[in-house]
Amino acid sequence: MHDHASGHIDLARLRDVLDGPWAKVRNAHREHLDERFLPVYGETGDQARERISRLLTELPVELGIASAFPTEYGGSADVGGSIIASEMLAQVDLSLMVKAGVQWGLFGGAVQALGTQRHHDAYLRDIISGTIFGCFAMTETGHGSDVQQLRTTCTYDPQTQTFDLHTPHEAARKDYIGNAARDGRMAVVFAQLITNGQRHGVHAWLVPIRDAQGNPLPGVTIGDAGPKAGLLGVDNGRLSFDHVQVPRDMLLDRYGQVAEDGTYSSPIENDSRRFFTMLGTLVRGRVSVGGAASAATKSALTIAVRYGDIRRQFDTPGADREVLINDYLAHQRKLLPALATTYALHFAQTELVAALNEVQGGDGPVDEHRQRELESRAAGLKAAQTWHATRTIQMCREACGGAGYLAENRLPSLKADTDVFTTFEGDNTVLLQLVAKGLLTGYRDEFGSLDGWGRASFVAEQVREMVLERTAARSLIERLISAVPGRDEEVAVTDRGWQLKAFEDRERHLLDGAVRRLRGGAATKKDRPFDIFNDVQDHVLAVAAAHIDRVTLEAFVAGIEDTADPAVQALLSRVCDLYALSVIEANKGWFLEHGRLTPARSKAITGVVNGLLKELRPHMRTLVDGFAIPDTWLHCAILREEPRRQETMSAHDASSTQAVPV
């Protein structure tokens, strides 16, 4: 049993539930990553880069940091484990996580997914061991979200049997590229493939950029992206190529081959489809960025909740001590709904990692529908988790007052380092459009391409009949929903079936409306295809947001169903109520506008949420302790004063033994 305010909750049971199927990987990190790997506050950019580069090569082998790679090259073919590893690294140091992500996720992952056996045999071992550091050079100064329009060219010459890699103008230089400014010796470079005078769309080449002494190779210009808001330990840089000769066999040719005579062939005829199939194989990066954002959110919440249990402000008549800030309703309103959302997203992420592991871990052919569903889910949850991180870490900073602003209390670096997670691995707004497009077309052709939004009316023609696919615990969710009586007034807002139905209704209604508007637009704006989409873009984004909310709630419900310990299950069920009702509360306007809530019921929800906060108050500490973040990893000066808390726990202690109502 846990000695803090935890009622009858056995903390070990809660941790087992949250640690999930990759508990071994999580525990290996907790055991092997000591103080040496923690961030150093106040260091310069150069110091941070030097330290992170060194630490990257010192990561203990027990962590299985490159576990996603095939066993024959030294990996363990554990795709899910590699995602969990980056979540854990994110709780230690986000620069370290991102640098590792660039090396083994983006760079190594691209060689693995886009290359063929000769590339694997020649490079994977050295990539895994860190003998070769590399970059993933896709983004250009001129094109970030729309990478299909990259301007770098790679033109084949049958005479020399080499490609000519070239940056035609400044906007085509590779920008923001991790590992480029300091450490990268090679890069996977994305460019337009041209052979026999014909373009075949974006492909990738493995290109050496530095010699053994670290000097740029002839024709390669390397720049530094300069000081950044955060992630000081990651050396982001710029790359330009002046007619660099790249041997034919350095084309990563799993999806497109060029014969000696320059003949192009590919198993996928359509350029756009091929490119988005290639990108789809790189989905791992997006899944790990979402997970890492949630991991950082958990660190911030742990700090804020623990601080709120020692920090007192203002006294109250009749009490011998001032009030703990966690006892203020306003403070609970900040921390607890964010904590509930973090739990909900945790279960959604766990489900996503399992799906990724199944799709990418198997040997058999990949089911296309499942692959696209996975890409859509990865995009949506990446956006949800990174936005939640940005909002929550800021809130936690404020919840710690002035102390939250000091570097020694960790929150400033969590904030600065996770900020860009909303942008890299796909800008969140752009990712939500991918989610919506998948929903609108039922994951049919051209799903990955965004240019269809502007160019053709095909989506409006393709939009499918409305069938919402349940995502988790299908039969349980059907049962809960069908048990809801027709008249809302007869059912409590804490009824799970009612909550699920409310989420589903919102998504269905929004999707239905978007389809109607797109079809209407297609009929009246035939000559203005861009306007067909642009005029409903806000609506389309709302569909995606409602979908992600539903997927997240369904995953939470499934996770609770799988929890064996009754007390833990009861606690999670209360947290799930808080998540569901906070989402409904935040979208009250929509529910009222669409007659889904009466004004009386809408007001009642606010009261029920406040009641849940009171009920969960004694379990706040348990809920963050469930994340099992080692004390040293929090690396936070204000928490080191925590022992003083023993003498200050009075009023709060009395209520803390109360059990969770089942």
Ligand X SMILES: Cc1cc2nc3c(=O)[nH]c(=O)nc-3n(C[C@H](O)[C@H](O)[C@H](O)COP(=O)(O)OP(=O)(O)OC[C@H]3O[C@@H](n4cnc5c(N)ncnc54)[C@H](O)[C@@H]3O)c2cc1C
Binding site for ligand X (CB under 6 A): 102, 106, 136-139, 144-145, 176-178, 228, 231, 236, 420, 423-424, 427, 429-430, 450
Considering the complex, state which of residue 136 and residue 307 has its C-beta at the smaller distance from ligand X: 136
Q: Residue 434 CB, nearest distance to ligand X (Å)? A: 10
Q: Which residue is nearest to ligand X (CB)?
A: 144
Beta bridge partners of 191: 203
Min CB(231)–ligand X separation in Å: 6
Report, in Å, the least distance between residue 453 CB and ligand X.
7
The DSSP H or E segment spanning 414 is: helix 411-418
239 with 135: CB under 8 angstroms? Answer: yes
How far apart, in whole angstroms, are the C-alpha atoms of residue 116 and residue 129? 19
425 as an active site residue: the answer is yes
C-beta of 209: minimal distance to ligand X in Å?
Answer: 13
Contacts of 474 (CB under 8 A, 6+ apart): none
Measure Cα distances from 579 to 431, 460, 546 in Å. 23, 34, 14
Show Cβ contacts of residue 611 under 8 Å, excluding neighbours closer than 6 positions.
Answer: none
Q: How far is the CB of 30 from ligand X (least distance, A)?
A: 28
Beta-ladder partners of 157: 162
Q: Give 136 or 447: the residue with its C-beta nearer to ligand X.
A: 136
Residue 90 tokens read as 């994110």
Measured distance CA(403)–CA(74) in Å, rounded: 45
Helix axes 329-361, 599-616, angle to 10 degrees: 90
CB of 161 to ligand X, least distance (A): 28
> At its nearest, how many Å lie between ligand X and the CB of residue 326?
35
Between CA 212 and CA 526 the distance in angstroms is: 58
Helices 566-586 and 496-524, interaxial angle, to 10°? 40
Query: How far is it, in rounded angstroms, from Cα 205 to Cα 207?
Result: 6
- Count CA atoms closer than 13 A to 168's CA, side-chain side: 9
Which is nearer to ligand X, 533 or 627 (by Cβ)? 533
Q: E strands within 173-326?
A: 174-177, 186-195, 198-208, 220-224, 237-241, 244-247, 257-258, 264-265
Kindly tell me which of 144 and 158 has the beta carbon lying closer to ligand X.
Answer: 144
- Residue among 80 and 237 whose Cβ is closer to ligand X: 237
Bridge partners, 634 (sequence order): none
Alpha carbon distance 452, 449 (integer Å): 6
Tell me if 645 sits within 8 A of 621, measured CB to CB.
no
Catalytic residue among 351, 373, 425, 446: 425
- Burial class from Cβ neighbours inside 10 Å (0-12, 13-18, 19+) for residue 237 reads buried
Looking at beta carbons only, is 136 or 276 nearer to ligand X?
136
Backbone angle region of 497, left / alpha / beta, with phi > 0 → left and psi within -120 to 50 → alpha? alpha
Which 8-state DSSP code applies to residue 206?
A: E
- In the complex, minimum distance from the CB of residue 212 to ligand X, in angstroms, rounded to a whole number: 23
Residues involved in catalysis: 425
